[in-house]
Structure 1
Amino acid sequence: MTAVDDTERYRAPALDKGLDILELLADIEGGLTQAEIAKALQRTPNEIYRMLDRLVRRGYVGRTDGDRYELTLKLFALAHRHPPMRRLVAQAMPHLRAFTRRSLQACHLAVFDRGRVVVIAQVESPGYYGLSIRVGATVGLYNTGSGHVLLAFRSPAERALMAAEYERTVDDTGEPGHVADRLVQVRARGYEAVPSWQTAGVHNLSAPVLGPDGSAIAALTCPYLAPLNQPTAPDMPQTIHLLLEAAGAISALMGGPASAAGDPAGG
């Protein structure tokens, strides 16, 4: 039996039809009518009617007032329920360790996963002092450097979905009014640097780890403590530079761009 014959033997026509529709709509802005979908897929409208109906009922496709069909954000949500955490952590850890050695500060890696901002890796400061957050801890989306970076380097539609999932998960009261303007600034400069809302004397320094499409798949964050009586220790600007270098190196390993700055529109 040839490879082609073996492939045909295990065909699932209904599944193929549904995937064809999803892949077609993924490349179209503004959606398509049932007739346009049928024509593009070289099928009759009756052939795809039931499949469209099921995709709408399951929430993968939405139907507009003009009888056009377009993808919802459900596929985006599914894709982010099981991100490749193990590979990300394995690739990132050498750079986290190098950053802590050079900066004399602690750092951690956080991702947005199923409605929560979760710390998935951390390395303590090699010096006598440092602030570390345990792996598995959840942090705020709106009041942390990690949260700001994860929001800033996503599209407006993705941010809306993240906000809805986060609020549903943690019973939050909603996005603070100042955050939207702040995200524009974060996106433009390529990182966040802000006094901690939780701990006095700490600054949240956070840079994005970018995927192939330029979106943040993680935030590399340093809870920066200003060194006293240590003239050789990096200051905050130097630490930010080291953080951006580390985040850029991890981004390159993930197939993303090495630099995050340059899109003031935040879209």
Structure 2
Amino acid sequence: MAGGAGDERSVAERVFAIADAFERGGELTLSEVARRANLPTSTAHRLLAEWVSWGGLVRGDDGRYRVGMKLWRLGVRQPTARRLREVARPYLEDLLEATGEHVHLAVRDGLGVVYLERFSGPGAVRVISDVGSRLPLHATGVGLVLLAYAPPEVFAEVLAGPPRKFLPNTLTGEAELRSRLADIRSTGISRSVEELTRGAFSVAAPVRDSAGDVVAAVSIIAHVERRDEPQFPLGVRMAARGISGALSIRR
């Protein structure tokens, strides 16, 4: 039995195994957590209850668990994340003013994308991404940008997942994903139409540090009817370049 009598891990190691179960992001059932953490269901249930009580995880009405705000707040106290948000804020605010839609700043965390910041206009399209949200790399505009510049082994792990098809337009096959990532590296921009959320499209671009490495992505998510408006790709490119330049200056 998983994590049974022969399990020599300490209590702390079992607690951390619960946290590791959420490395790929998304929402998990009790049985999925137990399997990923290699724990008996009863042990996983008890430890999950403690995580929820502390605030590190949240249990939804459907019984699934996801990362809670307390863990996210601890994460953004890390200097790199905090500096990213501070540097990006004025550029994101300008992008919001120009578009009136959702504007995001996100970073890669393992096989998921975590949203560090979000600004939204009053009439913005309804989306599931929010500050602290963790979503799959392959199904989001910012995630695809970060996946395009990630090490090859990250792409291999995404394929091994396997990637989930959220909507008909969600790319999950190896060939189509490779083509998409190559296009992102060639053009410096990602365009997605109804791949995670119906009625929405996104445009995203990479943010680079002083060494030229991609450390984050900025995006706009807007009503799909506006997908041909030229200010979206232009705006997200300018914002990403501005944030990158500011990161190079502020050491």
- TM-score normalized by the length of structure 1: 0.54
| Matches of 1:162 and 1:89, distance apart in 2 | 26
Cα distance change on mapping 1:86 and 1:200 into 2, 3 Å? same
Tell me what 1:87 maps to: 83
1:244 equivalenced with 2:237 (yes/no): yes
In the alignment, is the contact (CA less than 8 A) between 1:124 and 1:130 conserved in 2?
no
CA contact (8 A) 1:108 1:221 kept: yes
Q: Which residue of 2 aligns with 1:221?
A: 219
Distance 1:183 1:95, change over 3 A: same
Distance in 1 between residues matched to 2:184 and 2:79, nearest whole Å? 24
CA gap of 1:99–1:217, structure 2 versus 1, over 3 A, is same
Q: Distance in 1 between matches of 2:100 and 2:225?
A: 9
Shift of residue 199 of structure 1?
1.6
Deviation at 1:148, TM superposition (A): 1.1
Letter in 2 for 1:95: Y
Query: Cα 1:162–1:87, aligned 2, differ >3 Å: closer, same or farther?
Result: farther
**Does the Cα contact within 8 Å between 1:106 and 1:131 map onto a contact in 2?**
no
Aligned partner of residue 254 in structure 1, secondary structure: helix
Alignment match, 1:12: none
Deviations 1:38-59 (A, max 9, x none): xxxxxxxxxxxxxxxxxxxxxx
Larger Rg: 1
The whole-number CA distance in structure 1 between the counterparts of 2:246 and 2:155 is 25
Name segments (4+ residues, structure 1) moved above 2 Å: 127-133, 161-164, 212-215
* 1:116 corresponds to 2:112: yes
- Deviation at 1:105? 1.3
* Structure 1 residues 100 and 85: alpha-carbon distance in aligned structure 2, compared to 1, 3 A threshold: same
Written as runs of structure 1 = structure 2, the 5 A alignment for 1:243-262 is 243-255=236-248
Q: Within 2, Cα distance between the matches of 1:224 and 1:241?
A: 14
- Taking only aligned residues, the RMSD between alpha carbons, in angstroms, comes to 2.6
Structure 1 stretches of 5 or more lacking a match?
Answer: 1-81, 229-233, 257-267
SS at match of 1:200: coil
Counterparts of 1:182 and 1:131, CA distance in 2: 25
What displacement does 1:116 show?
A: 2.4
CA drift of 1:254 comes to: 1.6
